[in-house]
Amino acid sequence: MSAGKTRNEIIKAADQLIYLNGYEHTSFATIANVVKISRGNFYYHFKTKDQILNAVIEQRKTNTRSMIRQWEQQHTKPAERIKCYIKIILQNWPKIKQHGCPVGTLCNEMTKLSHPSQKQARGIFTIFRKWLRDQFRLLGHEEQADQLAMHVLSWSQGVATMASTFKAQQFAENEVDQMCRWLDELTTGKSI
């Protein structure tokens, strides 16, 4: 395996383990076990668990940007694009039911641990936040754009926490419907 490929394998394994079990629960050794490489080879790429975490966060940011680009290609109307974000929870329901929202749970854990990577982690939310803000601006809500973006992020986060805690798919579906209706009401009468 080439050095670049090994590095990517480590990041991929760490990303999964951190999502499934949390950062604190994921040890250097567990990641190395999954990737099946020697300790020496592992240390060549990453010296500390925090370094791996930062690489995982960077990878998640790249994936987030690429997901957003897809939504933009699929939909020209801002409201339809925002609905792509709103519906992620249902599309990823089997995973969210078991492990929560990957961004929200990571940020919660970083906050809890007062971890130095707290800012980097919330940077994933910031990508969504800025993009949602742009969509609300396109919808004519210039002044409230950031507040509306945060409202959507926050609404989704709450649904992810409560739906995964109570394993309540129906609740998640109801809330997603409600969010879409709220968005439709917000856009009604506005020129897009």
The tokens describing 37, both together, are 């490489």
Q: At what angle do helices 118-138 and 102-112 cross, to 10 degrees?
A: 140
Q: Which is nearer to a second copy, 72 or 146 (CB)?
A: 146
**102: closest CA among 89, 112, 115, 86?**
89
Stretch that binds a second copy, among 32-40, 66-74, 100-108, 183-191 (CB under 8 A): 100-108
Q: Which is nearer to a second copy, 41 or 120 (CB)?
A: 120
Q: Which of residues 110-129 bind a second copy (CB under 8 A)?
A: 111-114, 122, 125
- Closest approach, Cβ 17 to a second copy, in A, equals 11
Is residue 107 near a second copy by the rule CB under 8 A? yes
**41: closest CA among 87, 3, 94, 9?**
3
- Closest approach, Cβ 186 to a second copy, in A, equals 13
Q: Which is nearer to a second copy, 105 or 135 (CB)?
A: 105
DSSP class per residue in 98-140:
HH--HHHHHHHHHHHTT-TTHHHHHHHHHHHHHHHHHHHHHTT
- Closest approach, Cβ 120 to a second copy, in A, equals 12
Contact 82, 152 (CB under 8 A): yes
Which letter does DSSP use for residue 48 in this model? S
Stretch that binds a second copy, among 44-52, 65-73, 104-112, 132-140 (CB under 8 A): 104-112
Alpha-carbon distances of 165 from 65, 97, 98, rounded to whole Å: 28, 8, 9
Binding mask 146-185 for a second copy (x = CB under 8 A): -x--xx-xxxxxxx-xxxxxx-x--x--xx--x-------
Task: Tell me phi and psi for residue 188, to 5 degrees.
Answer: -65, 135
- CA distance linking residue 43 with residue 46, whole number of Å: 5
- Closest approach, Cβ 94 to a second copy, in A, equals 13
Among 1, 3, 21, 27, binds a second copy (CB under 8 A): 21
Binding residues vs a second copy (CB under 8 A): 20-22, 24-25, 98-100, 104-105, 107-109, 111-114, 122, 125, 147, 150-151, 153-159, 161-166, 168, 171, 174-175, 178
